[in-house]
């Protein structure tokens, strides 16, 4: 676009312009001054400047954002906005591929590698030095941000191919990185425990991804190894696979299991790190370290005795040994995890199954896992393998909490040495009162009861208000749905 600027008018001078004819001598002095002021302006100061025109950078940003809105809400191309946006993009030195709705961000970056760093952290707050605004940089960021937003939020309609889903997942990952979160950190549990939630954007991205998965002919894709290899595991995809696993066989079932296994391994790697940090225990410095060889701090012993080195003999004389403090021991604990596997709790089922398997791998922790809808199933024999657990679940159906409680209560051998984690939205219909009475009795026996609304990466949760108020009165409020909070709560139990 070409900038149009208006040249400023010259400021009037404080003296009148020279004239070829002298002023009439018969005119009074005060009339002469009045006429002079009328023609040339007041002599006390300069004339006011003309109002400034619109900022060209603001105009460019408006063009880009109007095009974004038009593309999002109207499938018809607006020729004027397209041509104006092309002129803006070319004028600021960006490739015209940014305006191609069919080009993924990865393809643009492959052709223009210099843009990779600009996309990362693009939408994270960036304080300007000295409060100054770089309006040219703002226009550039607007063009890049428009590309990201259009690719992620304009998904069209109709059948979705494996390639289209893969491109969307890649673009969504770019958007998450632009917001300062790792890819997958806002949508699902691949980056479980991510601190950012994108201002509530995570659930919306998850809903878009779920819609794309539903629009894909998943069984046909899974039956083709080449197409299945293009799929990236995500919570939405895993949910669909778990729901449809009974209808799969042969190559399609093998590919589905491979995707579930990949997803489980990715989540487990993240959660295992969090659990290890939370349950490492603190050094007990209240007593001296035990002087046994396995506690000997060899590096510190050598360092502290270096002054005793004898160059002539080439020998180090040690006059003091140093030992490490041992980590405070944990006592044997029993963890009973009860998970609602109804349709609204799929992400919690996946996360808690993996989390239970990690805790089951810790020393001196006895983990029991129960899943329920209208029936309850004891998954404890397979708790060490979350992949096997997930294949044994049947997602969907209603809720019958008292059935799950009847299965869980016999597992409480020592109430004061037991914690029960109950993950559900607690919408029990006509079974609410019996379930709460069972929970109240377990709590009063000495069991530490932890109700959890959901266990998701975004922390989004919905809990029956009737239960929420009663849990609060019982002294066991529903904890936040973020998985970090559950790990923190269990830390105090295990250490």
Same domain, 244 and 290: no
Task: Report yes or no on whether pTM surpasses 0.75.
Answer: no
Same domain, 249 and 122: yes
Same domain, 313 and 376: no
Same domain, 67 and 164: yes
Per-residue pLDDT tens digits for 172-194: 888 988 888 877 767 654 444 44
Q: Is 273 a member of any domain?
A: no
CA gap 489, 278 in Å, rounded: 10
How many structural domains comprise the chain?
3
**Confidence at residue 314, expressed as pLDDT on a 0 to 100 scale:** 86
Q: Is 105 a member of any domain?
A: yes
Q: Which alpha helices (H) appear in 188-249, and where do they start and end? A: 201-214, 218-223, 225-228, 235-244
Q: Is 289 a member of any domain?
A: yes
Name beta bridge partners: 482: 456
Same domain, 316 and 401: no
Same domain, 289 and 247: no
Counting every residue, how long is the chain?
495
Residue environment code for 399-419, b if the CB has 16+ CB neighbours within 10 A, otherwise e: bbbbbbbebbeebbeeeebbb
CA gap 205, 149 in Å, rounded: 11
Any residues with CB less than 8 A from the CB of 398 and at least 6 apart, and which? 342, 373, 374, 429
CB 348 within 8 A of CB 378: no
Same domain, 249 and 341: no
**Confidence at residue 443, expressed as pLDDT on a 0 to 100 scale:** 94
**Confidence at residue 84, expressed as pLDDT on a 0 to 100 scale:** 92
From 235, 268, 301, give the residue that closes a domain: 268
CB 192 within 8 A of CB 275: no
Mean pLDDT by 10 residues, the chain (495 residues): 43 44 43 40 47 73 90 83 91 90 88 89 72 82 92 87 86 88 66 45 80 84 88 82 83 90 81 62 56 79 87 87 64 80 70 78 82 89 86 75 93 90 84 91 92 65 84 87 71 63
CA gap 375, 21 in Å, rounded: 111
Angle between helices 56-73 and 79-91 (to 10 degrees): 130
Q: Is 24 a member of any domain?
A: no
Name beta bridge partners: 421: 337, 450
CB 442 within 8 A of CB 402: no
Q: What is the CA radius of gyration of the chain?
A: 34
Cβ neighbourhood burial of 306 (10 Å; 0-12, 13-18, 19+): exposed
The two tokens of residue 282 are: 């603190």
**Confidence at residue 127, expressed as pLDDT on a 0 to 100 scale:** 66
CA gap 217, 215 in Å, rounded: 7
Same domain, 127 and 249: yes
CA gap 95, 21 in Å, rounded: 64
Per-residue pLDDT tens digits for 77-116: 788 999 999 999 999 999 998 998 888 899 899 889 999 8
Same domain, 232 and 346: no
**CATH number of the domain within which 438 lies:** 3.40.50.410
From 241, 268, 295, give the residue that closes a domain: 268
Same domain, 314 and 434: no
Q: Is 17 a member of any domain?
A: no
Q: In what order do the strands lie in the sheet with 376-378?
A: 376-378, 365-372, 333-340, 418-423, 448-452
CA gap 439, 350 in Å, rounded: 24
Structural domain range at position 436: 333-494
Q: Is 34 a member of any domain?
A: no
Same domain, 135 and 91: yes
Per-residue pLDDT tens digits for 32-43: 344 344 344 444
**What does the longest C-alpha to C-alpha distance in the chain come to?**
122
Same domain, 341 and 308: no
CB 429 within 8 A of CB 400: no
CA gap 198, 477 in Å, rounded: 26
CA gap 274, 482 in Å, rounded: 13
Name beta bridge partners: 143: none
Cβ neighbourhood burial of 350 (10 Å; 0-12, 13-18, 19+): buried
CA gap 98, 83 in Å, rounded: 13
CA gap 31, 299 in Å, rounded: 102
Cβ neighbourhood burial of 391 (10 Å; 0-12, 13-18, 19+): middle
């Amino acid at each position: 676009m070409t900038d149009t600027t208006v040249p400023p008018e010259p400021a009037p001078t404080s003296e009148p312009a020279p004239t070829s004819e002298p002023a009439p001598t018969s005119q009074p002095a005060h009339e002469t001054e009045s006429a002079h002021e009328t023609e040339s302006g007041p002599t006390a100061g300069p004339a006011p400047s003309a109002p400034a025109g619109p900022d060209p950078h603001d105009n460019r940003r408006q063009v880009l954002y109007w095009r974004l809105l038009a593309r999002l809400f109207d499938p018809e191309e607006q020729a004027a906005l397209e041509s104006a946006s092309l002129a803006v993009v070319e004028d600021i030195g960006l490739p015209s591929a940014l305006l191609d709705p069919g080009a993924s961000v990865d393809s643009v970056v492959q052709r223009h590698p210099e843009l990779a760093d600009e996309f990362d952290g693009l939408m994270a707050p960036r304080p300007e030095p000295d409060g100054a605004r770089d309006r040219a940089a703002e226009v550039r960021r607007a063009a890049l941000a428009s590309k990201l937003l259009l690719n992620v939020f304009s998904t069209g309609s109709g059948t979705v191919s494996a390639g289209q889903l893969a491109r969307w997942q890649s673009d969504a990952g770019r958007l998450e990185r632009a917001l300062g979160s790792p890819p997958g950190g806002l949508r699902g549990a691949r980056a479980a425990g991510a601190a950012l939630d994108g201002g509530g954007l995570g659930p919306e991205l998850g809903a878009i991804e779920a819609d794309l998965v539903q629009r894909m002919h998943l069984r046909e894709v899974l039956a083709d190894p080449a197409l299945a290899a293009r799929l990236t595991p995500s919570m939405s995809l895993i949910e669909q696979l778990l729901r449809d696993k009974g209808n799969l066989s042969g190559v399609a079932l093998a590919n589905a299991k491979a995707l579930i296994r990949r997803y489980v391994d990715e989540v487990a790697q993240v959660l295992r790190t969090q659990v290890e940090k939370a349950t490492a225990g603190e050094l007990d410095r209240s007593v001296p370290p035990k002087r046994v060889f396995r506690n000997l701090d060899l590096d510190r012993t050598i360092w502290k005795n270096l002054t005793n080195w004898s160059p002539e003999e080439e020998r180090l004389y040690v006059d003091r040994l140093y030992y490490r403090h041992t980590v405070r021991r944990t006592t044997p604990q029993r963890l009973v995890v009860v998970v609602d596997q109804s349709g609204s709790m799929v992400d919690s089922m996946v996360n808690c199954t993996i989390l239970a398997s990690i805790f089951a791998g810790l020393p001196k922790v006895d983990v029991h896992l129960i899943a329920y809808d209208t029936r309850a199933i004891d998954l404890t024999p397979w708790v060490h393998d979350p992949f096997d657990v997930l294949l044994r679940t049947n997602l969907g159906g209603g809720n019958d909490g008292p059935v799950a409680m009847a299965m869980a209560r016999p597992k409480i051998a020592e109430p004061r040495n037991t914690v029960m984690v109950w993950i559900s939205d607690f919408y029990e219909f006509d079974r609410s009162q019996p379930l709460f009475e069972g929970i109240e009795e377990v709590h009063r026996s000495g069991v530490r009861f932890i109700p959890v609304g959901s266990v998701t990466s975004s922390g989004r949760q919905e809990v029956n208000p009737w239960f929420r108020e009663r849990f609060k009165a019982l002294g066991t409020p529903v904890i936040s749905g973020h998985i970090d909070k559950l790990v923190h709560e269990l830390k105090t139990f295990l250490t």
